[in-house]
Structure 1
Protein backbone atom coordinates (compact mmCIF):
# COMPACT_ATOMS: atom_id res chain seq x y z
CA UNK A 1 0.00 0.00 0.00
CA UNK A 2 1.28 3.47 -0.87
CA UNK A 3 2.23 5.68 2.04
CA UNK A 4 0.62 9.11 2.22
CA UNK A 5 3.30 11.78 2.11
CA UNK A 6 1.05 14.78 2.58
CA UNK A 7 0.86 15.42 -1.16
CA UNK A 8 -1.94 13.89 -3.20
CA UNK A 9 -0.58 11.75 -6.05
CA UNK A 10 -1.39 12.81 -9.61
CA UNK A 11 -4.07 10.67 -11.28
CA UNK A 12 -4.71 10.95 -15.01
CA UNK A 13 -7.98 10.29 -16.82
CA UNK A 14 -9.13 10.58 -20.41
CA UNK A 15 -10.17 14.26 -20.24
CA UNK A 16 -8.74 15.52 -16.97
CA UNK A 17 -6.28 14.87 -14.21
CA UNK A 18 -6.40 15.02 -10.44
CA UNK A 19 -3.43 16.70 -8.84
CA UNK A 20 -2.51 18.10 -5.45
CA UNK A 21 -4.19 21.32 -4.38
CA UNK A 22 -2.04 24.43 -4.74
CA UNK A 23 -2.48 27.85 -3.21
CA UNK A 24 -2.57 29.35 -6.70
CA UNK A 25 -5.80 27.37 -7.30
CA UNK A 26 -7.61 29.80 -5.01
CA UNK A 27 -9.03 31.96 -7.81
CA UNK A 28 -10.40 29.01 -9.77
CA UNK A 29 -11.78 27.24 -6.70
CA UNK A 30 -13.30 30.49 -5.44
CA UNK A 31 -15.53 30.45 -8.55
CA UNK A 32 -16.84 27.10 -7.34
CA UNK A 33 -16.88 27.74 -3.59
CA UNK A 34 -18.46 31.18 -3.95
CA UNK A 35 -21.26 30.16 -6.30
CA UNK A 36 -24.53 30.15 -4.29
CA UNK A 37 -25.92 27.07 -6.02
CA UNK A 38 -22.74 25.03 -5.48
CA UNK A 39 -22.18 26.24 -1.90
CA UNK A 40 -25.77 25.48 -0.90
CA UNK A 41 -25.15 21.74 -1.37
CA UNK A 42 -22.00 21.97 0.75
CA UNK A 43 -23.99 23.35 3.67
CA UNK A 44 -21.76 26.41 4.04
CA UNK A 45 -21.94 30.10 3.25
CA UNK A 46 -20.42 30.89 -0.17
CA UNK A 47 -16.83 32.10 0.18
CA UNK A 48 -16.52 35.84 -0.31
CA UNK A 49 -12.89 36.40 -1.30
CA UNK A 50 -9.79 34.83 -2.74
CA UNK A 51 -8.19 35.17 0.71
CA UNK A 52 -10.90 32.90 2.13
CA UNK A 53 -10.27 30.38 -0.66
CA UNK A 54 -6.52 30.49 0.07
CA UNK A 55 -7.23 29.86 3.75
CA UNK A 56 -9.46 26.88 2.93
CA UNK A 57 -6.76 25.42 0.68
CA UNK A 58 -4.19 25.96 3.45
CA UNK A 59 -6.45 24.12 5.89
CA UNK A 60 -7.05 21.23 3.46
CA UNK A 61 -3.30 20.90 2.82
CA UNK A 62 -2.62 20.92 6.56
CA UNK A 63 -5.25 18.20 7.08
CA UNK A 64 -3.67 16.20 4.24
CA UNK A 65 -0.26 16.46 5.87
CA UNK A 66 -1.81 15.11 9.09
CA UNK A 67 -3.49 12.30 7.07
CA UNK A 68 -6.95 13.59 7.97
CA UNK A 69 -7.97 14.45 4.40
CA UNK A 70 -6.84 13.84 0.82
CA UNK A 71 -8.00 16.42 -1.73
CA UNK A 72 -7.27 16.91 -5.42
CA UNK A 73 -7.81 19.80 -7.79
CA UNK A 74 -9.60 18.74 -10.97
CA UNK A 75 -7.60 20.10 -13.90
CA UNK A 76 -8.40 20.11 -17.62
CA UNK A 77 -5.61 19.54 -20.19
CA UNK A 78 -5.11 23.30 -20.70
CA UNK A 79 -4.44 23.75 -16.96
CA UNK A 80 -7.88 25.12 -16.01
CA UNK A 81 -9.02 24.04 -12.53
CA UNK A 82 -12.76 23.35 -12.47
CA UNK A 83 -13.33 21.88 -8.99
CA UNK A 84 -11.99 19.51 -6.39
CA UNK A 85 -12.68 16.08 -4.97
CA UNK A 86 -11.17 13.67 -2.50
CA UNK A 87 -11.45 11.88 0.80
CA UNK A 88 -12.80 13.91 3.71
CA UNK A 89 -11.75 11.13 6.09
CA UNK A 90 -10.74 7.49 6.13
CA UNK A 91 -9.87 4.57 8.40
CA UNK A 92 -7.13 2.24 7.18
CA UNK A 93 -7.48 -0.13 10.13
CA UNK A 94 -10.59 -1.83 11.44
CA UNK A 95 -13.36 -0.51 9.20
CA UNK A 96 -11.21 0.25 6.10
CA UNK A 97 -13.73 2.95 5.26
CA UNK A 98 -13.48 6.38 3.64
CA UNK A 99 -15.81 9.28 2.83
CA UNK A 100 -15.61 11.21 -0.44
CA UNK A 101 -16.56 14.81 -1.06
CA UNK A 102 -16.66 16.77 -4.29
CA UNK A 103 -17.63 20.05 -5.89
CA UNK A 104 -17.52 21.35 -9.44
CA UNK A 105 -17.86 24.84 -10.86
CA UNK A 106 -21.45 25.07 -12.18
CA UNK A 107 -20.17 26.14 -15.62
CA UNK A 108 -18.96 22.54 -16.04
CA UNK A 109 -22.00 20.67 -14.72
CA UNK A 110 -23.60 18.04 -16.93
CA UNK A 111 -20.50 17.15 -18.97
CA UNK A 112 -19.35 14.02 -17.12
CA UNK A 113 -16.24 15.62 -15.62
CA UNK A 114 -17.08 14.79 -12.01
CA UNK A 115 -17.94 11.20 -12.88
CA UNK A 116 -14.49 10.80 -14.44
CA UNK A 117 -12.79 12.54 -11.50
CA UNK A 118 -14.57 10.44 -8.88
CA UNK A 119 -13.85 7.24 -10.80
CA UNK A 120 -10.13 8.07 -10.52
CA UNK A 121 -10.46 8.85 -6.80
CA UNK A 122 -12.40 5.64 -6.17
CA UNK A 123 -9.85 3.52 -8.00
CA UNK A 124 -7.13 5.07 -5.84
CA UNK A 125 -9.17 4.48 -2.69
CA UNK A 126 -9.91 0.83 -3.40
CA UNK A 127 -6.60 -0.17 -5.03
CA UNK A 128 -3.98 1.97 -3.27
CA UNK A 129 -5.56 2.84 0.09
CA UNK A 130 -7.15 -0.64 0.23
CA UNK A 131 -10.50 0.68 1.42
CA UNK A 132 -13.40 -1.76 1.59
CA UNK A 133 -16.18 0.83 1.76
CA UNK A 134 -16.49 4.38 0.47
CA UNK A 135 -19.31 6.60 1.71
CA UNK A 136 -20.75 9.86 0.40
CA UNK A 137 -23.27 12.25 1.91
CA UNK A 138 -25.75 14.04 -0.29
CA UNK A 139 -28.54 16.52 0.44
CA UNK A 140 -31.84 14.73 -0.37
CA UNK A 141 -32.79 17.44 -2.88
CA UNK A 142 -29.45 17.32 -4.73
CA UNK A 143 -30.68 15.10 -7.56
CA UNK A 144 -27.63 15.76 -9.73
CA UNK A 145 -25.27 14.36 -7.08
CA UNK A 146 -27.55 11.44 -6.24
CA UNK A 147 -27.67 10.44 -9.93
CA UNK A 148 -23.89 10.78 -10.15
CA UNK A 149 -23.34 8.53 -7.13
CA UNK A 150 -25.82 5.95 -8.44
CA UNK A 151 -24.07 5.91 -11.83
CA UNK A 152 -20.81 5.04 -10.05
CA UNK A 153 -22.44 2.08 -8.28
CA UNK A 154 -23.20 3.69 -4.91
CA UNK A 155 -26.30 2.49 -3.06
CA UNK A 156 -28.47 4.85 -1.02
CA UNK A 157 -28.55 3.42 2.49
CA UNK A 158 -30.90 5.88 4.17
CA UNK A 159 -31.37 9.39 5.49
CA UNK A 160 -29.41 10.78 8.42
CA UNK A 161 -31.94 13.15 9.96
CA UNK A 162 -30.69 16.64 10.90
CA UNK A 163 -27.17 15.29 10.52
CA UNK A 164 -25.36 18.57 9.96
CA UNK A 165 -25.82 22.14 11.01
CA UNK A 166 -25.69 24.75 8.26
CA UNK A 167 -26.19 28.52 8.14
CA UNK A 168 -29.87 27.82 7.40
CA UNK A 169 -30.30 25.33 10.28
CA UNK A 170 -30.12 21.57 10.72
CA UNK A 171 -30.08 19.58 7.52
CA UNK A 172 -30.81 15.97 6.58
CA UNK A 173 -28.33 14.10 4.40
CA UNK A 174 -28.72 10.89 2.44
CA UNK A 175 -25.97 8.33 3.02
CA UNK A 176 -24.59 6.50 -0.02
CA UNK A 177 -22.00 3.74 0.03
CA UNK A 178 -19.97 1.68 -2.42
CA UNK A 179 -18.27 -1.57 -1.41
CA UNK A 180 -15.05 -2.75 -3.00
CA UNK A 181 -16.69 -5.94 -4.29
CA UNK A 182 -19.48 -3.93 -5.97
CA UNK A 183 -16.92 -1.55 -7.47
CA UNK A 184 -14.97 -4.50 -8.90
CA UNK A 185 -18.18 -5.93 -10.42
CA UNK A 186 -18.95 -2.55 -12.01
CA UNK A 187 -15.42 -2.24 -13.43
CA UNK A 188 -15.70 -5.77 -14.90
CA UNK A 189 -19.04 -4.92 -16.54
CA UNK A 190 -17.65 -1.69 -18.00
CA UNK A 191 -14.62 -3.51 -19.43
CA UNK A 192 -16.85 -6.17 -21.00
CA UNK A 193 -19.02 -3.42 -22.51
CA UNK A 194 -15.94 -1.66 -23.92
CA UNK A 195 -14.70 -4.92 -25.44
CA UNK A 196 -18.02 -5.46 -27.21
CA UNK A 197 -17.94 -2.00 -28.85
Structure 2
Protein backbone atom coordinates (compact mmCIF):
# COMPACT_ATOMS: atom_id res chain seq x y z
CA UNK A 1 0.00 0.00 0.00
CA UNK A 2 1.26 3.47 -0.89
CA UNK A 3 2.70 5.54 1.98
CA UNK A 4 4.07 9.03 1.40
CA UNK A 5 5.36 9.66 4.95
CA UNK A 6 6.71 13.05 3.94
CA UNK A 7 8.81 11.71 1.08
CA UNK A 8 7.71 14.03 -1.72
CA UNK A 9 9.43 12.74 -4.85
CA UNK A 10 10.72 15.08 -7.52
CA UNK A 11 8.96 14.70 -10.88
CA UNK A 12 10.47 16.28 -13.98
CA UNK A 13 8.77 17.29 -17.21
CA UNK A 14 10.02 19.06 -20.30
CA UNK A 15 9.61 22.61 -18.93
CA UNK A 16 8.64 22.16 -15.29
CA UNK A 17 9.73 20.28 -12.22
CA UNK A 18 7.44 19.19 -9.39
CA UNK A 19 9.31 19.35 -6.09
CA UNK A 20 8.82 19.54 -2.37
CA UNK A 21 8.09 23.10 -1.26
CA UNK A 22 10.13 24.50 1.61
CA UNK A 23 9.27 27.36 3.98
CA UNK A 24 11.93 29.38 2.12
CA UNK A 25 9.51 29.28 -0.85
CA UNK A 26 7.08 31.44 1.13
CA UNK A 27 7.71 34.60 -0.88
CA UNK A 28 7.19 32.86 -4.24
CA UNK A 29 4.04 31.05 -3.10
CA UNK A 30 2.69 34.20 -1.51
CA UNK A 31 2.92 35.72 -4.99
CA UNK A 32 0.74 32.87 -6.28
CA UNK A 33 -1.70 32.46 -3.39
CA UNK A 34 -2.28 36.21 -3.03
CA UNK A 35 -2.69 36.76 -6.80
CA UNK A 36 -6.23 38.19 -7.04
CA UNK A 37 -7.22 36.08 -10.04
CA UNK A 38 -5.79 32.88 -8.58
CA UNK A 39 -6.99 33.45 -4.99
CA UNK A 40 -10.58 33.98 -6.09
CA UNK A 41 -11.25 30.25 -6.16
CA UNK A 42 -8.75 28.94 -3.60
CA UNK A 43 -10.14 27.03 -0.67
CA UNK A 44 -7.65 28.51 1.80
CA UNK A 45 -7.82 31.55 4.09
CA UNK A 46 -6.39 34.79 2.74
CA UNK A 47 -2.59 34.76 2.85
CA UNK A 48 -1.14 37.89 4.47
CA UNK A 49 2.52 37.83 3.51
CA UNK A 50 5.46 35.53 2.87
CA UNK A 51 5.59 34.34 6.50
CA UNK A 52 1.98 33.15 6.34
CA UNK A 53 2.73 31.39 3.05
CA UNK A 54 5.78 29.72 4.65
CA UNK A 55 3.57 28.52 7.52
CA UNK A 56 1.06 27.08 5.02
CA UNK A 57 3.90 25.28 3.20
CA UNK A 58 5.06 23.79 6.53
CA UNK A 59 1.47 22.63 7.19
CA UNK A 60 1.24 21.01 3.75
CA UNK A 61 4.53 19.18 4.35
CA UNK A 62 3.25 18.01 7.75
CA UNK A 63 0.15 16.59 6.05
CA UNK A 64 2.45 14.68 3.69
CA UNK A 65 4.33 13.24 6.69
CA UNK A 66 0.99 12.04 8.07
CA UNK A 67 -0.16 10.62 4.70
CA UNK A 68 -3.03 13.08 4.62
CA UNK A 69 -2.05 15.04 1.48
CA UNK A 70 0.73 15.33 -1.09
CA UNK A 71 1.59 18.75 -2.54
CA UNK A 72 4.30 19.71 -5.01
CA UNK A 73 5.59 23.13 -5.96
CA UNK A 74 5.56 23.77 -9.72
CA UNK A 75 8.95 25.15 -10.73
CA UNK A 76 10.10 26.35 -14.13
CA UNK A 77 13.16 24.26 -14.98
CA UNK A 78 14.88 26.99 -16.97
CA UNK A 79 14.71 29.70 -14.29
CA UNK A 80 13.95 27.90 -11.01
CA UNK A 81 10.90 30.15 -10.53
CA UNK A 82 8.10 28.64 -8.43
CA UNK A 83 4.80 29.46 -10.17
CA UNK A 84 2.17 27.36 -8.36
CA UNK A 85 1.43 24.03 -6.76
CA UNK A 86 -0.49 20.85 -7.37
CA UNK A 87 -1.09 17.52 -5.73
CA UNK A 88 -3.47 15.28 -3.88
CA UNK A 89 -5.71 16.87 -1.26
CA UNK A 90 -6.54 13.37 -0.04
CA UNK A 91 -6.58 9.78 -1.18
CA UNK A 92 -8.26 6.57 -0.15
CA UNK A 93 -6.80 3.27 -1.23
CA UNK A 94 -8.49 0.27 0.33
CA UNK A 95 -12.00 -0.12 -0.99
CA UNK A 96 -11.87 2.96 -3.24
CA UNK A 97 -8.46 3.52 -4.85
CA UNK A 98 -9.33 7.16 -5.46
CA UNK A 99 -7.65 10.51 -4.95
CA UNK A 100 -8.72 14.14 -5.06
CA UNK A 101 -6.45 16.43 -7.05
CA UNK A 102 -6.00 20.16 -6.59
CA UNK A 103 -3.89 22.86 -8.23
CA UNK A 104 -3.28 26.56 -8.62
CA UNK A 105 -1.05 28.67 -10.82
CA UNK A 106 -0.11 32.36 -10.66
CA UNK A 107 -2.19 34.10 -13.32
CA UNK A 108 0.88 35.44 -15.17
CA UNK A 109 1.54 31.83 -16.24
CA UNK A 110 -1.99 30.87 -17.32
CA UNK A 111 -2.57 29.65 -20.86
CA UNK A 112 1.04 28.53 -21.47
CA UNK A 113 0.62 24.78 -20.89
CA UNK A 114 2.48 24.68 -17.57
CA UNK A 115 -0.44 23.30 -15.55
CA UNK A 116 -1.20 20.68 -18.19
CA UNK A 117 2.39 19.45 -17.94
CA UNK A 118 2.34 19.57 -14.12
CA UNK A 119 -0.96 17.72 -13.78
CA UNK A 120 0.12 15.10 -16.30
CA UNK A 121 3.08 14.29 -14.05
CA UNK A 122 0.84 14.34 -10.98
CA UNK A 123 -1.81 12.12 -12.58
CA UNK A 124 0.78 9.66 -13.92
CA UNK A 125 2.23 9.43 -10.41
CA UNK A 126 -1.21 8.82 -8.90
CA UNK A 127 -2.03 5.99 -11.26
CA UNK A 128 1.42 4.35 -11.44
CA UNK A 129 2.89 4.86 -7.95
CA UNK A 130 -0.12 5.35 -5.69
CA UNK A 131 -2.07 2.72 -7.66
CA UNK A 132 -5.19 4.88 -7.81
CA UNK A 133 -8.02 3.83 -10.09
CA UNK A 134 -9.92 7.13 -10.02
CA UNK A 135 -8.83 10.75 -9.68
CA UNK A 136 -11.39 13.43 -8.87
CA UNK A 137 -11.34 17.22 -9.20
CA UNK A 138 -13.76 19.58 -7.45
CA UNK A 139 -14.11 23.04 -8.98
CA UNK A 140 -16.11 26.04 -7.83
CA UNK A 141 -19.17 26.16 -10.09
CA UNK A 142 -18.25 29.70 -11.13
CA UNK A 143 -14.71 28.68 -12.16
CA UNK A 144 -15.47 27.77 -15.76
CA UNK A 145 -11.78 28.04 -16.68
CA UNK A 146 -10.86 25.21 -14.29
CA UNK A 147 -13.79 23.04 -15.37
CA UNK A 148 -12.84 23.48 -19.05
CA UNK A 149 -9.19 22.72 -18.23
CA UNK A 150 -9.99 19.42 -16.49
CA UNK A 151 -12.34 18.48 -19.33
CA UNK A 152 -9.49 19.13 -21.80
CA UNK A 153 -7.29 16.82 -19.68
CA UNK A 154 -9.80 14.00 -20.22
CA UNK A 155 -11.84 14.34 -17.03
CA UNK A 156 -15.56 13.60 -17.25
CA UNK A 157 -18.12 15.93 -15.70
CA UNK A 158 -20.15 13.98 -13.14
CA UNK A 159 -22.38 16.64 -11.63
CA UNK A 160 -22.74 19.44 -9.13
CA UNK A 161 -22.61 19.24 -5.34
CA UNK A 162 -24.92 21.97 -4.09
CA UNK A 163 -23.49 24.36 -1.48
CA UNK A 164 -20.60 21.94 -1.00
CA UNK A 165 -18.02 24.41 0.32
CA UNK A 166 -17.90 27.69 2.17
CA UNK A 167 -15.89 30.61 0.85
CA UNK A 168 -15.79 34.34 1.47
CA UNK A 169 -18.84 34.41 -0.84
CA UNK A 170 -20.77 32.03 1.42
CA UNK A 171 -21.85 28.49 0.50
CA UNK A 172 -20.80 27.64 -3.06
CA UNK A 173 -21.55 24.75 -5.38
CA UNK A 174 -18.78 22.45 -6.55
CA UNK A 175 -18.58 20.78 -9.94
CA UNK A 176 -17.23 17.21 -9.78
CA UNK A 177 -15.07 15.77 -12.56
CA UNK A 178 -13.13 12.51 -12.64
CA UNK A 179 -10.86 10.36 -14.75
CA UNK A 180 -10.25 6.63 -14.44
CA UNK A 181 -6.88 4.95 -14.92
CA UNK A 182 -8.08 3.11 -18.04
CA UNK A 183 -9.34 6.39 -19.53
CA UNK A 184 -6.04 8.16 -18.79
CA UNK A 185 -4.02 5.33 -20.33
CA UNK A 186 -6.16 5.47 -23.49
CA UNK A 187 -5.65 9.22 -24.06
CA UNK A 188 -3.35 10.33 -26.88
CA UNK A 189 0.05 11.68 -25.69
CA UNK A 190 -0.70 15.23 -26.89
CA UNK A 191 -3.62 15.44 -24.42
CA UNK A 192 -1.24 14.69 -21.56
CA UNK A 193 1.60 17.03 -22.55
1:60-103 Cα shifts (integer Å, max 9, x gaps): 01100000000000011121100000000001211000000000
Counterpart CA distance in 2 for 1:2 and 1:10 is 16
Q: Structure 1: 5+ residue runs without aligned partners?
A: none
Q: Alignment RMSD, CA only? A: 1.5
TM-score w.r.t. the length of structure 2 is: 0.94
Q: 3-state DSSP class of the match of 1:131? A: coil
**Is residue 101 of structure 2 the alignment partner of residue 103 of structure 1?**
no
1:181 Cα deviation from its structure 2 partner: 0.8
Please give the residue correspondences for 1:11-160 in structure 2 after superposition, counting only pairs within 5 Å: 11-77=11-77, 78-160=79-161
Q: Structure 2: 5+ residue runs without aligned partners?
A: none
**Equivalent pair of 2:134/2:179 in contact (CA under 8 Å):** yes
**Which protein has the bigger helix share?**
1
1:42 Cα deviation from its structure 2 partner: 1.1
TM-score w.r.t. the length of structure 1 is: 0.92
Number of aligned residue pairs:
190
Aligned counterpart, 2:168 = 167
Counterpart CA distance in 1 for 2:46 and 2:35 is 6
Counterpart CA distance in 1 for 2:47 and 2:14 is 31
